[in-house]
Chain A
Amino acid sequence: MPMDNGSCHRYCVYGIEIASDSPLALPQYSHDTLGHLECLQTPAPIFQQAIDTIVFESRSDSWYRHAVVRDGSTYVAWDLIGEFLVAADGRRIVCRRAAGCSAESFQVYMLGQAISFALVQQRFEPLHATVVVVNDQAVAFLGGHAFGKSTLAACFLEAGYRLLTDDLLNLQESRDGIRAYPGPPRIKLFPGIARRFLGAIADGVEMNPDTNKLILPIDEHRSCSRPVPLKAIYSIAAPHDASRRHDLTIEILSPRRAFMALVSGAFNRTLTGRQRLTRQFGMMARVTDLVPVKTLVYPRALDRIEEVRDTVLDDLRRDVGIARSSPDIALAMLG
């Protein structure tokens, strides 16, 4: 299904050139890209044909469904959002927006979860991280869903720092170390957090019917649209672990614990297989070699979030070495 060039929109996100048959809220294409991806809207019967005989790997009562199709494509769908078919080589996504779903909400899923399958198939290893730019260097906050990554990033935006990406971080090794690539210029925040740190939220759009989280566009003055070197990764402690703490701590992780944190912080933990694991093993070891990874533990109290931001900024100013006993084994699983 070659794209009709007359209706082709060309963008750049995560370092990838996107050719889409419908407009997307993304920066225009630039020539310095790492890969290429086509995004095409397709009517429902195409999906029905593709998934006719497949067995879903997610629970039947889940609003999210995922399966690998016979030709190696990946099918992912969310009720009330839409469905996506990602080609086995990761170079094409065909998609269908559900009736009633906003374009903004659909794009969050397409340019988040769905594109993560394409990125992994194209041999990238995206991390689950929100990233701000401090002194022209990327500072990543790594953590799972509802760990507070976006809230902390919003606090940095309030102080005049720019957003590089919210939720999905694509990385590439370059001559000057590891480079972090910009994501869509938007952030997902609860209304109260958005009001506090961004001011007006009139242009916010609900992310999905099950949450009041808003999708908020970030203008060019508060977002960064070019890749920047990755200065540090802060692995945010789970809210459950942090809730009993009153203190705020940053500790550098030993190399093996840094590696484990990175593996656990993979954005896409669904795709496995020998090739993917081999590649992920190599990439995460390189990131461990080149970028300090630290734990960030703080109480989940909004009135202390500026203190967290300032502590991170202080930490970035310091030059901290990597801390280095009977043998010890630590374990992690991807899936």
Chain B
Amino acid sequence: MPVSFSDCVRVAPDVLFRLVSDEGVLVNLNTEMYLGLNPVGARMWSVLSEASSIQAAYEQLLREYEVDPSELRRDLEEFIAQLHAHQLIETRPDAG
């Protein structure tokens, strides 16, 4: 599912997230699937779920990591696609 970086990300209803040390664990109560995120994934999740848009999350992460911008963009797109595939997030246009 293609996403626009102007969209914002919201955690899907019935999804629980918790940090365990610097990693993340999630459960989707509808699909009954558990997931684990490594430290980068956990940080991406936290920033995406709090940012006003994917673009804002991207800019925040770009400040935090020493990474090639195009590589970060690609990683973020792939990550969001995986989260969508597991019904963990919803994206919608930024309300502004």
Binary flags per residue of B26-44, CB closer than 8 Å to A gives 1, else 0:
0101001111111111001
Bound-state CA distance A333–B40 (Å) is 23
Bound-state CA distance A335–B22 (Å) is 27
The reply to whether B40 and A329 form a contact with Cβ atoms under 8 Å apart is: no
Binary flags per residue of B1-45, CB closer than 8 Å to A gives 1, else 0:
000000000000010101011111101010011111111110010
Q: Give A255-270 interface residues, CB cut-off 8 Å to B.
A: 255-260, 263
Bound-state CA distance A327–B48 (Å) is 13
The reply to whether B21 and A322 form a contact with Cβ atoms under 8 Å apart is: yes
Question: How many A-B pairs fall under 8 Å by CB?
Answer: 89
What residues of chain B lie closer than 8 Å to A272, measured between beta carbons?
Answer: 32
Bound-state CA distance A329–B27 (Å) is 12
Interface size on A, residues (CB 8 A): 30
What residues of chain A lie closer than 8 Å to B44, measured between beta carbons?
Answer: 327
A210 interfacial contact with B, CB 8 Å = no
Bound-state CA distance A325–B37 (Å) is 11
Bound-state CA distance A257–B37 (Å) is 9
The reply to whether B36 and A330 form a contact with Cβ atoms under 8 Å apart is: yes
Which of B21, B27, B35 has the most chain A CB atoms closer than 10 A to its own CB?
Answer: B27
Check A285/B25 contact, CB under 8 A, given A256-B20, A329-B41.
yes
The reply to whether B36 and A257 form a contact with Cβ atoms under 8 Å apart is: yes
Contact of A285 (CB < 8 Å), options: B14, B18, B35, B75:
B18
Expressed in whole angstroms, the minimum distance between the Cβ of B55 and any Cβ of chain A is 18
Expressed in whole angstroms, the minimum distance between the Cβ of B64 and any Cβ of chain A is 13
Bound-state CA distance A134–B69 (Å) is 52
A46 interfacial contact with B, CB 8 Å = no
Interface residues of B (CB under 8 A from A): 14, 16, 18, 20-25, 27, 29, 32-41, 44, 75, 79, 82, 86
Interface residues of A (CB under 8 A from B): 254-260, 263, 272, 274, 277-278, 281-282, 285, 288-289, 322, 324-335
With A274-B14, A331-B35 known, 5 other A-B pairs at CB within 8 A are A256-B37, A289-B21, A325-B39, A328-B38, A329-B82
